[in-house]
Amino acid sequence: MSIKIAYLGPAGTFSEEAAECFANKASLEAELEPCATVADCAGRAEDDAVKYAVVPLENSLEGSVHATLDVLMTSLELSIQAELVLDIEHNLLCPHKEMGQISQVYSHPQALAQCRDFLRQRLPQARLVPALSTAEAAAQVAREQSGAAIASKRAAKRYGLHILAENIQDSENRTRFIVLGKETPVPALPQKASLVFSVTNAAGSLFRVLQAFADHGVNLTRIESRPARKQLGDYIFFVDLDGTPDDINVKKALRQAAKEAVVLKLLGSYPVLP
């Protein structure tokens, strides 16, 4: 029986590619369901309308995808089931064959930012217009037969656009996607864990939480703060670490950190898919 996987649509996004990649690696017979936003993808998994939601978490050039951090911060039921990293190759797509006619470039804000140098050098006069996704931008350009989109080659094919420039991202461009769901993932190696916590607004409070991981020799691979959305100056912290809470050192570190934090929640312990 096939399972459903939600992704940021429409067809032709990098999220669709990540969802396909996850289904292949996990040997799942999957039906992919496009959603308009990251929050909608997570909502479908929360409502059990799909089993998994595959969403972008961070990019090597532009950093975190805030919509995904917000889902992780607020979702009570979803946890991270797996992560996978994709190389992201952007292209300039157009209904016409000449670059001279382009006055507007549409794409997802992450994609526009990942191609900043190209846009500044080759299309300095063009207005940059944010879209809900790269494929949504391609679909719009195809519909209106004007402007250009930054998107994948598969989007070019799908929406019948010409590729005017290939590989236009600023430098090495990789995006880390996570798979959200309600299951407890089957352990596989290598394993990572993610957590979110808040601390009191007092000297040394963040240091003492992080100290717990240093004390037990646990390697932190990422730390990120986001406004707690309560009052200015209140933050919550996202941390990724190597290992799983089944490892004795991670277990001890988490116990010690939880004592120092105001709240600490595990977001998942999951395999890193090659």
Ligand X SMILES: O=C(O)C(=O)C[C@]1(C(=O)O)C=C[C@@H](O)C=C1
Q: What are the residues facing 236 on neighbouring strands?
A: 226
Q: Which residue bears the tokens 């989007």?
A: 155
Tell me the CB-side half-sphere exposure of residue 245, using CA atoms within 13 A: 16
Q: Which residues contact 27 (CB under 8 A, 6 or more apart)?
A: none
In the residue annotation, 118 being an active-site residue is answered as no
Nearer to ligand X, 91 or 133 (CB): 133
Least separation in angstroms between residue 208's CB and ligand X is 33
Least separation in angstroms between residue 61's CB and ligand X is 8
Q: From the candidates 13, 68, 134, 175, give the one annotated as an active-site residue.
A: 175
Q: From the candidates 177, 197, 213, 238, give the one annotated as an active-site residue.
A: 177
Least separation in angstroms between residue 110's CB and ligand X is 4
Nearer to ligand X, 18 or 206 (CB): 18
Least separation in angstroms between residue 1's CB and ligand X is 27
Nearer to ligand X, 11 or 210 (CB): 11
3-class secondary-structure state, position 16: helix
3-class secondary-structure state, position 99: helix
Nearer to ligand X, 115 or 241 (CB): 115
- Contact criterion met (CB below 8 Å) for 33 and 44: yes
Nearer to ligand X, 17 or 240 (CB): 17
In the residue annotation, 37 being an active-site residue is answered as no
Tell me the CB-side half-sphere exposure of residue 103, using CA atoms within 13 A: 2
Q: Kindly list the residues in this chain that would bind ligand X in the complex (CB under 6 A).
A: 8, 13-15, 56, 59, 65, 88, 108, 110-111, 133-135, 175
Least separation in angstroms between residue 10's CB and ligand X is 10
State the alpha helices, DSSP H only, in the chain: 14-25, 38-46, 66-74, 109-114, 116-122, 134-144, 153-159, 205-215, 248-260
- Contact criterion met (CB below 8 Å) for 23 and 181: no
Residues making up the chain, counted from first to last: 274
Residues annotated as part of the active site: 175, 177
